[in-house]
Each structure stands twice: as structure tokens, then as C-alpha cells.
Chains A and B, each alone.
Chain A
Amino acid sequence: MPQNYVPIFLFLAVIGTMIPATLLIARLVRTQRPTREKLLPYECGIDPHDNARGRYTVRYYVVAILFVIFDVETIFLFPWAVKFKALGVFGLIEMLVFLGVLIVGYAWVWKRGALEWV
């Protein structure tokens, strides 16, 4: 049993030496000219101006909620996809009905303005 883990330990050892080694070599070789732009976490986009753990607007929750719903509904597509051939036309129609219901929900969300960022 323990010998089964030998490759894993070897792997860990290789990682443990390779990464510091490459970083060290790169640091020794490269030129260093830091500017403000380069030191920002994201080089493009809006400048971060606050701690990420502060309170942010409640609208993010709406987006998150909508994402969660439509994201999790795809869970029903997986079993259907696995058994697609066996289920045939019957399964296809059932899945189209399911997606149709989802699309009604999507249309409702869209028209109600939940996707607009006021």
C-alpha cells in the first residue's frame, strides 16, 4: 500500500524544487523597472479602490441569484445528455419543454429589468 504513494511524493518533490528554481532564475536574469500600472492586481479595467471585504451594492446579489438559478438548472441536462440515444425523440421533446419553461423565466427576468444595471 504505502509504495503506491511513491509517485505522488516524487511528484511533490519535483514541484517543490522546480517552482522555486524557475522563479529564482527568472528573478536573477530579468531587468526590474516597476511602475504603478504594473504593480496593480489588474493591469486593465477599473482601479481597485477599496478592501474586497467591505459591503458592496445589493445589486450584485440579484445577479448572483439569477446566475445560481440558471446555472443549477443545467444539472438536469447531464443525465439526459448521457442517455440521449436511448431516450430518443421522447427525451428531446421533454428537454425542449423543460428549456421552454426556463426561457419563459428568462424572458420574464429580462422584461422585468432584473438584468439592467441601473
Chain B
Amino acid sequence: MKVISLTEYKLMLPMLELVIFALGILLIDLIIPRDWKWLNAVGAFVGLFFAAVCVWQIQATLPGGAVGFSGALLVDHFAVFFWYLFLAAAGITVLMSERYLDLEDEHSGEYYALLLLSVVGMMCMAAGIDVVLIFIGLELMAISTYVLVGFLRRERRSNEAAIKYFLLGAFSSGIFAYGLSIFYGLAGSTNLQEIHRSILAQNPRHPVIVIALLTTMTGLFFKIAAVPFHQWAPDAYEGAPTSISGFMSVAVKAAAWAMLLRILIFALFPLRSVYVPIVVFVAIATMTLANFAALSQTNTKRLLAYSSIAHVGYMLLAFVAMGTSEPGSPAFSDGFKGILIYLLVYTFMNLGAFAVITSLRQRQVIGDELEDMAGLYHRAPVEAVLMLLFLLSLAGIPPAAGFLGKYYIFLSLVESRHYGLAALGVIYSLLGLYYYLKIANAMLIRESKETKPLFVSIGMRCAVGVTALATIVIGIYPEPFIQGVSRSLPTWAKPTAPTLRQ
């Protein structure tokens, strides 16, 4: 009987530690009095910090990648990159949440516990190379976020958003699992490497393989909210607590992307002749629909939801560039870097924008309409200027960080000779500028009904400050981040022979 060694447990130490903190918060929340609820937020933040330290320790001793748990868990630089991303996003979300939950008058213990558990799920998704682990991670993340979306129990919009998100999410998980079950049948193993090996030996256009691929891709596209499977996103983002909308739009999306890259690039790369045409179609549809739908929005959360769908479209363009070029070629690695850097940058700029919207929630004001943005410059000048920075970054204006992600994506498209797609992407980016500037216009030029200064809590100030700092730093001095992203590439560039060391 093979017993799992302690080193393998060390690989999943960050997850174990987060689970312990989540359970601890659940239990401690039961006994602490109402005035001390802020302790939950502190506990969650400390838990995330410890997890980050654990990840750092793992990273320091990591050869090129380490597998554990009978080949289910692969901790390589790719996984570590995403782990940091999830922890950072969750940490900033905790900073944003404390005062917001206080205003909404909801119990906060379960909120933080669910947040930590969803991060554990995401970590499984990024590090799993066994479909069982990936699926369990996906469901842990998804179920936690269903509940978080509906966390404002007394508000009908929140209920509705949770129901829609739950039904479509559970439906897509089911379809996704069906695809995975067929891949298991083809390979005889649930391990992604085994699946990759058996796919290589088969005709990629065999109907069974095509059905498995289509169902799997449907699930993946649902999770990253690509058109035509995007309908849940605007509703869920609008109805959810604003801090959770921010968290979902960055962390949940990044986790779905990690899973998509693991499955479509790592395992199913031999099928690219089948799936790349579909991805091209989905990318164009996503950019078109999301950008045009965003133009007419009057609710800022909903507008940012459509903008986040549009960003998925741009990332899918980079994915097309990867799928149409050989592993190891400049187009492949630039496309890969483009997606990862985009996710990194997007995490900070979008969370920053959501943080500013969250701070608009006051005693009597819900604050998620475009109207509520009016005259923000007079009420909270620092927040307004930083919001402008986030918006320009989202639109891809240099020197803000958003430009960097777009740069790599369009570079990879040009390198793989997709000039048409590149031109389309640039045009839609310019269109995007219009609706981002609509928010800026409301914020800077329009007169507000309110004149008294906006109260912004310390945690919120930290959240906005950190995200703004990251957006500027990555934009001006990107070298270390690009290097970090490139390091997660080598084990990936040749998906046929992944170098795994025990």
C-alpha cells in the first residue's frame, strides 16, 4: 500500500491551511459578539497571508514542477503564478468587504469562510492535472460563489442573481462533467497526461471525440463567460454584493482560465485543428456582443460585467494565436504570456474599479448606478482620480498596465499572421474606450446631487491604493512580471513531454 509522503502534503499546505482558517472562522463567528465581527475579516486576511507565505516557501524549493497524490496535483510555476493571483485577489476583496457588509447588515463569518473555501477550489483548479481534482476544485469554487452571490438574503436582486448563476452554473458543470467522463472512457485514466497520450493516437475528428470536446468546451466557455454562454455574468455581477462582483470578475475568471489552459493546451492540444475554428467564432462573437451591449448600460456593475466579457474576448484572441502556432514558437509563447499577464493586470485594475464602486455604497444609497458616480471628483478626489486610472488601464491606454496585456495579445496575433483578428481587436478596444470614458465623464464633469464628501474606510483605502499601485507599477516597470510569467512557460511549451520531477 502506497502511503502518501509528507512532501506531498507540503505541496498542498497552502490549501490545507486555508481550509483550517475557513473552518476556524465559521466556528469563531458563532461565539463572538456582534461588535467584534471585524475579527472575521482579520482572520481571513491572516489566513490568506499565511497561505501566501506557504506558496512562497514551495516556490523557493520548486525544481520545475512537482507532482503529488498519485499524479493528481502538479505544482509548477504556472500553478504558483495563479495561486499568488487568487490570494492577492481574495486579500483585496477582504479589505473591500468589511465596511460593505457592515452597511448591508449581514453576518460576516460565513462570507469570509466561503471566500477562503472558494480560493481553495481555485487552487485545486490551477494545480490539478487529474480531472477529478479539477472538477472538485471547480465545484468547491462554484458552490461557494453561488452562495456568496446570494449573500444579501433580504435583497431580491441578490436572490435572483444567485438563482440564475446557480442554475446556469450547475447546468454547465453537468455538461462539462459529461465531456470529462467521455475523455476518461477514451483514455482509461482520469489523468490529463494519460488523456493527452491517448488522444494523440486517435483521429481528432472521430465523432465521439468531437462530442467529448464540444461538451467540455461548453462547460469551459460557460465558466469564463464567453458568448454564447455569457448570460449569467451580467445578472450575477449586478445582483451580487459589489465586493463579490469584483472577486468573481477577477479570481473566478482567472481560475476558469487556468482550467481552460490546463485542459485545452496541456491535455487536448492534439485536437486543436477541431477547436481553434470554434474559438475564433466565439472570440469574435464575444467581443462584438459584449462591447455593443456595454454601450447602453446605465448600471456600473453591469457595464463592468459586459466589459469583463469583452476582455475574455481579447484573451480568446491570444488563445487562437497559441492554437494556430507550434509550441515553442514566438507566437505561442507570446500568446501564453499575453493571457497570463492580462489576467494579472486585469485582477488589479478591475478589482480597483469595483473597490471604488463598493465605496459608493452608503447608508441610504446603493450606489451602483451611473448616476451615483456623478460628481465623484468633488466628493472624493483621490478615489475619482484612481478610478480614472483603472478605467484608462481597462481601455488599454499606456502607460497603465492594461496596455501591456493588450500589447502581448496583439503581438502574438501579428506573429501568427492573424492580421484581421488583430485589427478587429484594436477596433473593439477603441470602442471600449467610449463606455469607460462615459463613467469618467459622469465622475469628473457632471454635477452631483450629493455634495458632502464620501466616507471611505481604511480597508477600502488600502484596497484602492494597492490596486492602483500595482496597476501603475506593472505598467511602468513590467520586466519582473514578464519574467515571472515566462518562467511558468517552459513546462508548458512542449505539452507532449511535460518535465515532471518528483
Q: Are A and B in contact, CB atoms below 8 Å, in the complex?
A: yes
Which residues of A line the B interface, CB within 8 A?
A: 86-88, 90, 101, 104, 107-108, 111-112
User: Within 8 Å of chain A (Cβ to Cβ): is B365?
Assistant: no
The binding surface of chain B is classed by DSSP as helix
Shortest A100–chain B CB gap in Å is 9
Closest 8 CB pairs of A and B: A111-B30, A104-B23, A90-B3, A86-B1, A108-B26, A104-B27, A104-B26, A107-B27
The binding surface of chain A is classed by DSSP as helix
Q: Are B27 and A112 in contact (CB under 8 A)?
A: no
How distant is the Cα of A67 from the Cα of B16 in the complex, in angstroms? Answer: 27
How distant is the Cα of A87 from the Cα of B4 in the complex, in angstroms? Answer: 11
How distant is the Cα of A88 from the Cα of B19 in the complex, in angstroms? Answer: 25
The contact size tier of chain B is: under 10
Q: What are 6 A-B pairs at a CB distance below 8 A?
A: A88-B1, A101-B19, A104-B27, A107-B30, A111-B30, A112-B30
How distant is the Cα of A71 from the Cα of B151 in the complex, in angstroms? Answer: 26
How distant is the Cα of A111 from the Cα of B4 in the complex, in angstroms? Answer: 36
How distant is the Cα of A107 from the Cα of B27 in the complex, in angstroms? Answer: 8
Residues of A within 8 A of B3 (CB): 90
How distant is the Cα of A90 from the Cα of B8 in the complex, in angstroms? Answer: 14
How distant is the Cα of A24 from the Cα of B4 in the complex, in angstroms? Answer: 65
Which residues of B line the A interface, CB within 8 A?
A: 1, 3-4, 19, 23, 26-27, 30
Residues of A within 8 A of B26 (CB): 104, 108
Q: Are B30 and A108 in contact (CB under 8 A)?
A: yes
How distant is the Cα of A37 from the Cα of B232 in the complex, in angstroms? Answer: 55
Nearest to A86 among chain B residues (CB) is B1
How distant is the Cα of A86 from the Cα of B3 in the complex, in angstroms? Answer: 10
Shortest B93–chain A CB gap in Å is 22
Nearest to A100 among chain B residues (CB) is B23
For chains A and B in complex, what number of residue pairs have CB atoms within 8 angstroms? 17
How distant is the Cα of A44 from the Cα of B432 in the complex, in angstroms? Answer: 71
Nearest to B3 among chain A residues (CB) is A90
How distant is the Cα of A90 from the Cα of B5 in the complex, in angstroms? Answer: 11
How distant is the Cα of A112 from the Cα of B29 in the complex, in angstroms? Answer: 10
Residues of A within 8 A of B27 (CB): 104, 107-108
How distant is the Cα of A46 from the Cα of B496 in the complex, in angstroms? Answer: 68
Q: Are B30 and A87 in contact (CB under 8 A)?
A: no
| 15 other A-B residue contacts (CB within 8 Å) besides A88-B1, A104-B26 | A86-B1, A87-B1, A90-B3, A90-B4, A101-B19, A101-B23, A104-B23, A104-B27, A107-B27, A107-B30, A108-B26, A108-B27, A108-B30, A111-B30, A112-B30
Nearest to A108 among chain B residues (CB) is B26
How distant is the Cα of A87 from the Cα of B2 in the complex, in angstroms? Answer: 9
How distant is the Cα of A86 from the Cα of B2 in the complex, in angstroms? Answer: 10
Nearest to A89 among chain B residues (CB) is B3
Nearest to B29 among chain A residues (CB) is A108
Shortest A55–chain B CB gap in Å is 19
Nearest to B24 among chain A residues (CB) is A104
Shortest A26–chain B CB gap in Å is 51
Residues of B within 8 A of A101 (CB): 19, 23
Which residue of A87, A88, A112 has the most chain B CB atoms within 10 A of its CB atom? A112
Nearest to A85 among chain B residues (CB) is B1
Nearest to B23 among chain A residues (CB) is A104
Shortest A95–chain B CB gap in Å is 14
How distant is the Cα of A104 from the Cα of B110 in the complex, in angstroms? Answer: 13
Residues of B within 8 A of A112 (CB): 30
Shortest A96–chain B CB gap in Å is 14
Residues of A within 8 A of B23 (CB): 101, 104
Nearest to A101 among chain B residues (CB) is B23
Shortest A90–chain B CB gap in Å is 5
How distant is the Cα of A86 from the Cα of B1 in the complex, in angstroms? Answer: 7
How distant is the Cα of A87 from the Cα of B1 in the complex, in angstroms? Answer: 7
Nearest to A112 among chain B residues (CB) is B30
Shortest B139–chain A CB gap in Å is 13
Shortest A87–chain B CB gap in Å is 7
Residues of B within 8 A of A111 (CB): 30
How distant is the Cα of A107 from the Cα of B23 in the complex, in angstroms? Answer: 11
Residues of B within 8 A of A87 (CB): 1
How distant is the Cα of A32 from the Cα of B76 in the complex, in angstroms? Answer: 80
How distant is the Cα of A106 from the Cα of B48 in the complex, in angstroms? Answer: 25
How distant is the Cα of A6 from the Cα of B110 in the complex, in angstroms? Answer: 61
Residues of A within 8 A of B30 (CB): 107-108, 111-112
Residues of B within 8 A of A107 (CB): 27, 30
How distant is the Cα of A90 from the Cα of B2 in the complex, in angstroms? Answer: 10
Nearest to B1 among chain A residues (CB) is A86
How distant is the Cα of A105 from the Cα of B67 in the complex, in angstroms? Answer: 31
How distant is the Cα of A72 from the Cα of B113 in the complex, in angstroms? Answer: 22
Shortest B136–chain A CB gap in Å is 12
